[in-house]
Amino acid sequence: MSYSNLGKQELENKTILIGRAPHIAPKAWLHSIHAPLSNQEINELEKDLGTIPEDYKLFLKTANGLKVFNTTLCLDGLRKTYKRGVNDVWQPFDILTPNILERPSNSTKNMFFIGGYDWDGSLLYFDLETNKIHLCDNDDATSIYEWDNFIIMLNTEVKRLSTLFDINGKEYDENKSTLPY
């Protein structure tokens, strides 16, 4: 919310946009928080995905995915439409894609993919056995970095990423990696 001084808008679909970012594009925003899912929508999603980690279910009940600093860090959710209308583009990245359609090589059934970084397309996943969050390459599920749990990952990453951007949401150094390592 520290960028709400740059503007804030709630769309018809209940997506909240924070921080206008004309330096990115005329209608760009720094952050988007997508409307929460209902219990029924989460149950339907579980029919396709299997088990959704409890921490992520709680997150989906708060926000159906989000994008931080445009798409620097994204957490996936249920994409409800692929229409190309002005407000229809404000959808989360589809959580089905990395979990069903484009799973990295050597991923196991104990990996539940939840998002990633735009710097290199790397992915984030829950280890369903340990509840730890891991960062991996987009085509190789070998862990590169890990956090003890989802809340720690989300809190530390939002704080860390905030140090890479100025008060207008411009990246201090576009050539510097936005990854946590």
CATH of residue 111's domain is: 3.40.1580.10
Low-confidence ranges of the chain (pLDDT < 70): 1, 83, 85-88
| pLDDT value at residue 84 | 72
Residue 177 lies in a domain: no
Count of the separate structural domains present in the chain: 1
Residue 172 lies in a domain: no
Residue 167 lies in a domain: no
Identity of the residue numbered 158: V
| pLDDT value at residue 85 | 66
pLDDT tens-digit series, residues 113-137: 999 999 999 999 999 999 999 999 9
Residue 178 lies in a domain: no
Would you say the pTM of this structure is higher than 0.85? yes
b/e 61-70 (16+ beta carbons within 10 angstroms → b): eebbbbbbbb
DSSP assignment string, 107-144: --TTEEEEEEETTT--EEEEETTT--EEEEETTEEEEE
Residue 37 lies in a domain: yes
Which residues have C-beta within 8 Å of that of residue 87, sequence separation ≥ 6?
11, 12, 13, 15
Residue 169 lies in a domain: no
| pLDDT value at residue 88 | 67
| pLDDT value at residue 1 | 66
Residue 87 lies in a domain: yes
Identity of the residue numbered 150: F
Collapsed DSSP state (helix, strand, coil) of residue 175: coil
d(CA 104, CA 111): 10
- Domain span at residue 158? 4-162
Residue 179 lies in a domain: no
| pLDDT value at residue 89 | 74
